[in-house]
C-alpha cells in the first residue's frame, strides 16, 4: 500500500526554491487579505521564502480563473492559491459565479498540470464569511496553504511511486510487448 505524503509526515515542507502564486480578489478586501496573510504565514512555516510568493490582485471572484491560468502557465510557479468571496444575494447570481469559478479552476489545474487551490468562500452571510476567513475562526487561508504544500508533496510522490517498474499500464506484464 502506498501512503500519501500527509500520512507520512504531519507537516510536509517545501523544497528549496519553490515559488507559489496567489490570486487575490479585492472584493471584500479585509477578508481576502486575512486569508492571504494566514496562507503566507503557513507557507513560511513550510519553508517558503517571502519573495517566493507571487500575488496578483483581481477585482472579484469571476476574474480569478483567468489570472490563475496565467500564473499556472508560468514554469517558475509550482502551485497557485486563489482567494475570494462570493456572497449570496437576492438572486441566483452567487450560484452562477461560484459554479463558474469552481469548475473553471478545476479545469485550469488540469490544463496547467499543477495544483490550483480553491480558497473562494461561498457563504450566505458576511458573518459566515468572517467565521471562515479569519484566523480566529476556520482560517481558510491556512487551510489552502496546507493543501498547496500537501498537493505538491502528493504530486512529487505520484511521479516517484512505481518508477522502478519498466512499464506501466494494462499491457505490461501480460507478455504482449508494446501492444496499442
pLDDT for residue 177 is more than 90: no
Q: How far apart are CA 89 and CA 98, in angstroms?
A: 12
In this structure, what DSSP letter does residue 116 have? E
Tell me the pLDDT tens digit for each residue of 81-99: 999 999 999 999 999 999 9
Tell me the pLDDT tens digit for each residue of 112-158: 999 999 999 999 999 999 999 999 999 999 999 999 999 999 999 99
- Whose CA is closest to 114, among 66, 71, 171, 145? 71
- Burial state string for 102-127 with b = 16 or more CB within 10 A and e = fewer than 16: bebbeebbeebebbbbbbbbbbeeee
Tell me the pLDDT tens digit for each residue of 67-76: 999 999 999 9
Q: What per-residue confidence (pLDDT) applies to 12?
A: 84
Which is catalytic among the residues 93, 96, 103, 138? 93
- Burial state string for 145-172 with b = 16 or more CB within 10 A and e = fewer than 16: bbbbbbbbbbbeeeeeeeeeeeeeeeee
SS3 category, 26: coil
Report the predicted TM-score, pTM, of the whole model to 2 decimal places.
0.85
Q: How far is CA 123 from CA 88, 135, 162, in A?
A: 6, 17, 42
Domain range summary for the chain, segments of one domain joined by +: 19-160
Q: What per-residue confidence (pLDDT) applies to 5?
A: 44
Catalytic residue check, 93: yes
Mean pLDDT of 9-26: 89
Tell me the pLDDT tens digit for each residue of 155-165: 999 998 877 66
Report the side by side order of strands in the sheet with 20-25.
Answer: 53-58, 20-25, 79-87, 116-123
Q: What per-residue confidence (pLDDT) applies to 116?
A: 98
Spell out the residues 6+ positions from residue 135 whose beta carbon is closer than 8 angstroms to its own.
34, 37, 38, 141, 142
SS3 category, 38: helix
Which residue has cell 473562494?
A: 120
Q: Which one is predicted more confidently, 163 or 34?
A: 34
Give CATH superfamily name and number for 19-160. Lumazine/riboflavin synthase (3.40.50.960)
Q: What share of the chain is helix, strand, coil (3-state, %, to 5)?
A: 45, 15, 35
pLDDT for residue 179 is more than 60: no
The grid coordinates listed for 150 are: 500537501
At 119, which helix (H) or strand (E)? strand 116-123
Amino acid at each position: 500500500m502506498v501512503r500519501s505524503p500527509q500520512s507520512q509526515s504531519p507537516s510536509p515542507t517545501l523544497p528549496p526554491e519553490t515559488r507559489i502564486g496567489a490570486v487575490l480578489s479585492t472584493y471584500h478586501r479585509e477578508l481576502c487579505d486575512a486569508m492571504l496573510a494566514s496562507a503566507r504565514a503557513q507557507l513560511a512555516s513550510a519553508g517558503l521564502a517571502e519573495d517566493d510568493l507571487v500575488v496578483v490582485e483581481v477585482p472579484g471572484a469571476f476574474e480569478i480563473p483567468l489570472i490563475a491560468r496565467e500564473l499556472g502557465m508560468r514554469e517558475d510557479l509550482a502551485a497557485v492559491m486563489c482567494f475570494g468571496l462570493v456572497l449570496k444575494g437576492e438572486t441566483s447570481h452567487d450560484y452562477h459565479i461560484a459554479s463558474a469559478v469552481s469548475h473553471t479552476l478545476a479545469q485550469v489545474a488540469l490544463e496547467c498540470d499543477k495544483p490550483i487551490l480553491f480558497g473562494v468562500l461561498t457563504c450566505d452571510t458576511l458573518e459566515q464569511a468572517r467565521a471562515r476567513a479569519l484566523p480566529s475562526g476556520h482560517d481558510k487561508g491556512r487551510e489552502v496553504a496546507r493543501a498547496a504544500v500537501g498537493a505538491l508533496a502528493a504530486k512529487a510522490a505520484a511521479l516517484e511511486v512505481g518508477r522502478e517498474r519498466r512499464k506501466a499500464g494494462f499491457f505490461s506484464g501480460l507478455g504482449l510487448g508494446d501492444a496499442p
